Structure 1
Amino acid sequence: MRFSVRVNNDLSVAELSALTVAAEAAGFDQVWVSNDLLLRSAPVLAATLAARTSRISLGIGVMNPYSVHPSELAMMAATLQESSGGRFLLGIGAGAEEFLAWAGIARTAPLATTRAAVVTLRALLGHTDVDRSLLPAWAREHVAALKFPLGRPVPVYVGAMGPRMLTMAGQHADGALPLLYPPETYAAARASVLSGAAPAGRDVDLPACFWVSLSDDPALARAALAEKLAYYGASFAEPLLEQAGLRPADFTEAARLAHSGQAAAAHVDERMLSLGIAGDAGDVIARCRGLHDMGASHLSFGPPLGPDPVTAIGLLGERVLPALRALPQSADVPAAGTAPSRMAVPTEGGRR
């Protein structure tokens, strides 16, 4: 199994550096940092982390193609690939309409815009299996290439939740980052990605991305997750929340308090908390075993991680990851909802 950590860019440089160093020491394979508007700059954070680590892969999850042009995204990604010694991963997504509105940015045609950005970025970042007919006019008319050498292609992931965006990720991206709420929606996300990847026999990384809060004190773990859900819950897609019996409006009061810097956990109920995983190591292992049984072979632990994120990383490394590594390997041949998360689908002649 592979393991990654996802963190928000609300952490200070010192906090994020300590967390990433701890994650590398704990045996995690990747760290992803968000690029939510009006918080710290993820590209700057990634460059800082590259200088302070040596092995762990570093990703931004996610940038959007509205506030930064794909050509500049490619420049940034290629430079981070160079500065990290080939350890950089780029996540791209349409972003939350509510958050983009804070900067007066309209999120027009999210599926088409994100697809064009993914195809263009992969063309610029060293990938040769690109359908050039999908490139925008400016990239078709000019040579879609950077003007400095790239040591290795930069993997491009799509941050997606809905089935159409996930299918597109399967068709065109190197991986997908579906935020699963609750985590058990992994099977549906996997089916959508596979529906896009299977016809072309594409190999797509699909980590099971969930929010977790781990502590030896389960009450503190639940409170930390509640504050994170309060901040982001109102921006979750309505069709996906409906599957959990919730609506974005259920988070209105919690979001109002969270965005004004006030405590909001009291307005997050048990239904909302079920969207993530909160508790001690045993609670986390039990839910992760369920994901493993669905075929997930890449588990991605997202914020808040715990009331003390660095302590939580230590607990994950000491108690959770060893238990999950001891689980039997998932079968290579998928049944519905049970395929491994690295989805390599054979094509004619057995090629992948």
Structure 2
Amino acid sequence: MTGRTSLRLNNDLPVAEYVDLVVAAEALGFDQVWVSDDLFLRSAPVMVTAAAARTSRIGLGIGIMNPYSVHPAELAMLAATLQEVSGGRFLLGLAAGAEEFLGWAGIPRPLPLTRTREAVRAVRALTRGDRPSDVPGAGEDWTSEAYLRFPLGAPAPVYVGAMSPKMLQMSGAEAEGVLPLLYPPEHFPVARDLVHDGARAAGRDPAEVDVAAAFWVSVDDDGARAERALAEKIAYYGASFSPYLLSRAGLAVEDFADIQAALSAGEPERATDLVTPEMLRLGIAGDADEVVRRCRWLQEQGATHLSFGPPLGPDPVAAVTVLGEQVLPRL
């Protein structure tokens, strides 16, 4: 296939299992593997360091980190150091983070758009050997003593995790890449156009911004098993999706009321049973043929980076193999 492909994995995986998946992804020809950095799970920087020692080609990303639980100065230190460890293969994903997760730690999340923009500008300045104090809009508290005091290689590309229209436009104006979570995948043209609008408004060439078509996928030789794995994920998370994105799939938060009631009653299997075919279309589920069909539509819409995210399938190892051996060669 032409273009770029990536896998997105969760940081709930045991480190050894995650590293094995990255090694397999490299052998199967994927270009990048991203791992989430959700609070109170495994440390994504440690996981990426472990993967860097076992691989040689594939890009290694953290998607995403946020400027509330980790200061932008430390984000820049981490990015520059992981570039050194990985031989220049690190990718830094930044976003405002999940308000609910941050709330568990008592961390407020004011001005998410502004703080994310400031973090992107500050990290890009620091990893290029510059001072954020010299960069307009990088935050007001930096002094001239804020700079990285070790030799720097090529700066790690910064990707922004974005869903809202304003965050997508900001991503196009500021970042090297964007990871817009697409619920449903058919939302891609709208998200892409918003990113490109932001790039043009900032005087940038939209072609310089890597806009990933980042979707949930569940694949298995048994399509019903693949659908069940995705339904479990949608039952748990669907009600927390933004009304804006749900509306793109003809859904509303209220449609998940019975599912939420089943989860609250401690009945996850019944909650999964209540996931409708319309809800399943928030992601891509089925056998390799179905995944190829939906991905070809994305390519027809101009997607040049396909990013496959969890649950991936009832068996993640088997799913990565199916994606690498039966899906990618056909795209």
Do the structures match in fold with TM over 0.5? yes
Aligned partner of 1:279 in structure 2 is 286
- Kept after mapping to 2: 8 A contact 1:24/1:53: yes
After TM superposition, where is structure 1 displaced by more than 6 Å over at least 4 residues in a row? 258-261
1:214 maps onto 2:203 in alignment: no
Provide the C-alpha distance between the structure 1 equivalents of 2:163 and 2:280, rounded to a whole number of angstroms: 18
Provide the C-alpha distance between the structure 2 equivalents of 1:13 and 1:138, rounded to a whole number of angstroms: 37
- Kept after mapping to 2: 8 A contact 1:7/1:303: yes
Residue identity opposite 1:9 in structure 2: N
Aligned partner of 2:276 in structure 1 is 269
Deviation at 1:35, TM superposition (A): 0.8
1:290 maps onto 2:297 in alignment: yes
Provide the C-alpha distance between the structure 1 equivalents of 2:274 and 2:11, rounded to a whole number of angstroms: 24
With normalisation by structure 1, the TM-score equals: 0.87
Deviation at 1:122, TM superposition (A): 0.7
Provide the C-alpha distance between the structure 2 equivalents of 1:235 and 1:144, rounded to a whole number of angstroms: 38
Aligned partner of 1:163 in structure 2 is 165
Aligned partner of 2:234 in structure 1 is 229
Structure 2 counterpart of 1:248, from 253, 261, 264 = 253
**What is the root-mean-square deviation of aligned Cα atoms in Å?**
2.1
Residue identity opposite 2:42 in structure 1: R
Provide the C-alpha distance between the structure 2 equivalents of 1:48 and 1:208, rounded to a whole number of angstroms: 27
Aligned partner of 1:86 in structure 2 is 88
Aligned partner of 1:317 in structure 2 is 324
Provide the C-alpha distance between the structure 1 equivalents of 2:232 and 2:19, rounded to a whole number of angstroms: 22
Structure 2 counterpart of 1:133, from 132, 136, 150 = 136
Aligned partner of 2:52 in structure 1 is 50
Structure 2 counterpart of 1:153, from 152, 155, 169 = 155
Q: How many residues align?
A: 323
Question: Percent of counterpart pairs with the same letter?
Answer: 61
- Kept after mapping to 2: 8 A contact 1:158/1:177: yes
Residue identity opposite 1:188 in structure 2: V
Give unmatched runs, 5+ long, in structure 2.
none
Aligned partner of 2:263 in structure 1 is 257
| Correspondences of 1:22-37 after superposition (within 5 Å) | 22-37=24-39
Structure 2 counterpart of 1:306, from 293, 313, 320 = 313
Residue identity opposite 1:37 in structure 2: L
Give unmatched runs, 5+ long, in structure 1.
325-352
Aligned partner of 1:339 in structure 2 is none
- Kept after mapping to 1: 8 A contact 2:173/2:204: no
Deviation at 1:86, TM superposition (A): 0.6
With normalisation by structure 2, the TM-score equals: 0.92
Please list the CA deviations of residues 77-97 of structure 1 after superposition, one character each: whole Å capped at 9, or x if unmatched: 111111111100000001122
Give the 3-state SS of the residue equivalent to 1:124 in structure 2.
helix
Provide the C-alpha distance between the structure 2 equivalents of 1:142 and 1:248, rounded to a whole number of angstroms: 47
Give the 3-state SS of the residue equivalent to 2:70 in structure 1.
coil
Provide the C-alpha distance between the structure 2 equivalents of 1:216 and 1:102, rounded to a whole number of angstroms: 39
